[in-house]
Amino acid sequence: MKNRLKALRESFELTQEQLGALVGVSRQAINSIETEKFEPSIWLAYDISKVFECSIEDIFLFEESERKSRAQQSRGVV
Tens of pLDDT along 15-71?
999 999 999 999 999 999 999 999 999 999 999 999 999 999 999 998 755 555 566
CATH number at residue 6: 1.10.260.40
Q: Look at residue 76 and tell me if it is in a domain.
A: no
List the one residue out of 76, 24, 38 whose CA is nearest residue 5.
38
Q: Look at residue 75 and tell me if it is in a domain.
A: no
Q: Look at residue 40 and tell me if it is in a domain.
A: yes
Determine whether 37 is exposed, middle or buried from the number of CB atoms within 10 Å of its CB (0-12, 13-18, 19+).
Answer: exposed
**What's the confidence (pLDDT) of residue 75?**
74
Residue-range definition of the domain harbouring residue 57:
2-68
Q: How many domains does the chain have?
A: 1
Q: Look at residue 74 and tell me if it is in a domain.
A: no
Q: Look at residue 56 and tell me if it is in a domain.
A: yes
